[in-house]
Amino acid sequence: MIGRLNHVAIAVPDLEAASEQYRTALGAKVGAPQDEPDHGVTVVFIELPNTKIELLYPLGENSPIQGFLDKNPSGGIHHVCYEVDDIIAARDHLQQTGARVLGTGEPKIGAHGKPVLFLHPKDFNGTLVELEQV
């Protein structure tokens, strides 16, 4: 059912420093910061030949990233995002297998302008999984 790895998201305590490290030390193609107020994050996308890295930094009060950074002050892998063709069919199938979908269960529009859902990390070996319809 799942397709390509769309991105790996990394929460970072210093967005400018992390961007510069990917640009300079790792020689990657690093985009400009984008504020995503609906998701409480500022995002920087890094294009790799086979996938993307998404650097996440808290935006505004009650950012979902802030708690993660409080527990992981030097940053860390926050989620992985897999592509699906039909997000509603994927959700229904996953719920039938007992997996929990976070929030209302209805897809939201994600950082790439496409519908996304998140699956409970306790159901996936401690990994927060994002599904994106492509």
Q: Which of 44, 55, 81, 101 lies at the binding interface for Co ion (CB under 5 A)?
A: 81
Query: Tokens 């650097």 belong to which residue?
Result: 55
The residue (of 24 and 67) whose beta carbon lies closer to Co ion is: 67
Nearest distance, CB of residue 61 and Co ion, angstroms:
21
Q: Reduced to 3 states, what is the DSSP secondary structure of residue 20? A: helix
The residue (of 9 and 94) whose beta carbon lies closer to Co ion is: 9
Q: How many amino acids of this chain bind Co ion (CB under 5 A)?
A: 3
In the stretch 4-43, what mask flags binding to Co ion with x, by CB under 5 A? -----x----------------------------------
Question: Phi/psi of residue 28, each to 5°?
Answer: -95, 165
Catalytic residue status for 61: no
Contact 111, 43 (CB under 8 A): yes
d(CA 125, CA 127): 6
- In sequence order, the 6+-apart residues with CB closer than 8 A to the CB of 78 are 9, 10, 11, 56, 65, 68, 128
State which amino acid sits at residue 127: T
**Binding residues among 44-63 for Co ion as defined by CB under 5 A:** none
The residue (of 9 and 11) whose beta carbon lies closer to Co ion is: 9
The residue (of 24 and 35) whose beta carbon lies closer to Co ion is: 35
Which of 54, 83, 130, 132 is an active site residue?
130
Known catalytic residues are 130
